[in-house]
Amino acid sequence: MPICPECGGDMRWDRESRFYVCKRCGLALSRKELDELKEKAMDEIIPEEEKRKRMRREYLEWWLSQKKE
């Protein structure tokens, strides 16, 4: 079951309107719109993950250089 990008509530398929409708906030999205929002959210998350990996790698290099001295 898809999760609402606005409030995090469960979305349910409405046959009559042919949209996914959030049970909590009432947001209605087509499958295409829902997929596009999901991809956009993933694009925003990935760079953040890369930043964390780079910071960890830099810290590890610094820490290991301190051990050698």
- Token pair 């610094």 is found at 62
What confidence score (pLDDT) does residue 32 get? 94
In DSSP terms, which residues pair with 21 in a beta bridge?
12, 28
| Distance of alpha carbon 61 from alpha carbon 40, whole angstroms | 33
CB contact set of 39 (below 8 Å; sequence gap of 6+): none
**Domain extents for the chain?**
11-68
Low-confidence ranges of the chain (pLDDT < 50): none
Whether pTM > 0.75 for this model: the answer is no
Enumerate helices (H) and strands (E) in the chain, giving the number of each: 1, 3
